Amino acid sequence: MTAPAVLLEWSPARPSQSRRRRARRRFAMLIAGLSVVCAALPLSALVEVGRWGAADERTPTDAIVVLGAAQYQGAPSPVLANRLEHARQLYKEGVANTIITVGGFRSGDVTSEAQAGKAELEAAGVPSKHVIALPFGANTRESLEAVATIAGAQGIDSVTLVSDPAHMARSRALAEAMGLHPQVSPTDDGPGSAMTADYVARESLGLITVWLDQPTPTS
C-alpha cells in the first residue's frame, strides 16, 4: 500500500462521515416510528368509537347515568329527551334502581340539564326518589366528576352510561379514569343516534385527548 493510500485509509474525516450516516439513519428511524404512532392513534380512536357505539351492556349496575344535552327552559331538547327515554327503558328492565341526570346551566338558563332531565323522568312515571339530579358540569368530564364525587356516599360503584353512540367511547374512558366502573348503553335510534362523520371525528379527537391526559404509571 502506497503512502498516499495509507493516509487516505486513516483520514480523520472518514469516522466523522460514518457517525453522520448513523445519526441520519437513527433520525430517519425516529421519524418513521413517530409517523407510525401518529397514524395508529387516530385509527385506534376511530375503532374504539365504533366499538363502544355499537355496544349495549345491560348487566345490572348501581346507577344509570344520563349524560346531559341541551334543554330549553326546562324542556329537554330532542337529543336529551331521547337519552332520557332510553334510560327509562333500562330502569324498567331492572338494569338499575337509580337514575342520575347530569348537566349544569348554560347562559340564560333558568334550570339545568340535570333538573330538566329529572322532571322529564318523573313525568314519565319514574318515582322521584329513584332520580338524582346533579346540576353540575359544562361538559362530559365535569359532569362525570360530579358523579364520581357523590358515588361513595350513594353506594355507587358501577354505572351504566346513556348517551349517543358516538359519545360512548370518550364517556366510558373518562368514567374509568375517575374510578367508576362503567358499562355503556347508547341510544339506538332517534335524535343524536346517527354516527355521522363529523360526530365520529369529533369524538375520536376527544378520546385521544382523554388518552393523552392520563397520568403515566409510576413503578
Q: What is the pLDDT of residues 113-150, one digit of tens each?
A: 999 999 999 999 999 999 999 999 999 999 999 999 99
Three-state SS at 148: helix
pLDDT at res. 202: 97
Please indicate, yes or no, if residue 196 is contained in any of the structural domains: no
Q: How many domains does the chain have?
A: 2
Residues 84 and 132 in one domain: yes
Please state which of the ranges 64-73, 80-89, 106-115 shows the lowest mean pLDDT.
106-115
Q: What is the pTM of this model?
A: 0.82
Q: Tell me, what amino acid is at 145?
A: E
Please state which of the ranges 26-30, 154-158, 196-200 shows the lowest mean pLDDT.
26-30
Residues 37 and 72 in one domain: no
Measuring CA to CA, which residue among 170, 176, 150, 130 is closest to residue 45? 170
* Percentage of residues in the chain having pLDDT higher than 90: 75
Where do runs of H (alpha helix) occur along the chain? Answer: 3-9, 13-54, 78-92, 113-123, 140-151, 168-177, 197-213
Residues 46 and 78 in one domain: no
Residues 31 and 116 in one domain: no
pLDDT at res. 219: 42
Note down the domain range covering 153: 56-189
Facing residues of 183 across strands? 160
DSSP label of 139: S
Residues 47 and 63 in one domain: no
Measuring CA to CA, which residue among 172, 169, 192, 165 is closest to residue 82? 192
Three-state SS at 11: coil
Please indicate, yes or no, if residue 195 is contained in any of the structural domains: no
Render pLDDT for 69-78 as a digit per residue (tens, 0 to 9): 999 999 999 9
Give the whole-angstrom CA distance, residue 89 versus residue 157. 21
pLDDT at res. 160: 98
Please indicate, yes or no, if residue 215 is contained in any of the structural domains: no
Residues 27 and 106 in one domain: no
